[in-house]
Structure 1
Amino acid sequence: MAEMDVALKDTMQIEGAVGAALVDQTSGMALGTAGGGKHLDLTVAAAGNTDVVRAKLRAMEMLSIAEKVDDILITLETQYHLIRPLTSRSGKGLFLYLVLDKERANLAMARHRLRDIERRVDM
């Protein structure tokens, strides 16, 4: 799981990162977390965002959309929440979850960096 730890550490290096998790979308369990804190329980966020991923995939199936999801963005007043499903064979069924401080983050750069991290993860 050293690779997961490196990926989470790299994710936390993204400007504005508040917390990150690698999540199993089948169980909703966070396999690893970094950051977070008193006001951001990444274990709860992982479980809740699993429902978001499942709902999006179900909607795409009902609409017969055969494309893959690059990422899912949830914008709050002070935060961005990015969900990036892993596409590698070994990462299938997992997603990276990243919470950014909206004041400090560059969303385009964060998406670019998260994509690079996702490409390097081989679970």
Structure 2
Amino acid sequence: MIGYVTIGVSDMAKAKDFYSGLLSDLGAKVLLDMGRIAFIGKSMAEPMLAICTPFDGESNHPGNGNMTALPAGSKEAVDQLYQKAIELGAICEGEPGQRIPGQFYGAYVRDPDGNKLAFFQFG
């Protein structure tokens, strides 16, 4: 149902390194790079993450309450993505843990531009 989610960034090269490195273990890579916007995912036929510098030329601003949630595939993968994000320069917004007993396991970070990400596993 979702084609792609776009995250505003201030430095495309830095953002491509961060997200390519972070999501590589999930099989994602830069699929389309158009300069000020790049699409990262497994294929153009699956949901993707787009990173871009704002079209209006103004500074990017992470939204308060906005978050992109990425399915990790397992609790162990949540832990690994969280740790990798921290190693790549993300800031902790909630260490990995069970949020809803038996139903939702997640971890939260902010990328180098302040955008909030969640890594999660249902069940």
TM range (shorter): 0.3 to 0.5
| TM-score where L is the length of structure 1 | 0.34
Give the number of the structure whose residues are more often helix, by fraction.
Answer: 1
| TM-score where L is the length of structure 2 | 0.34
Give the number of the structure whose residues are more often strand, by fraction.
Answer: 2
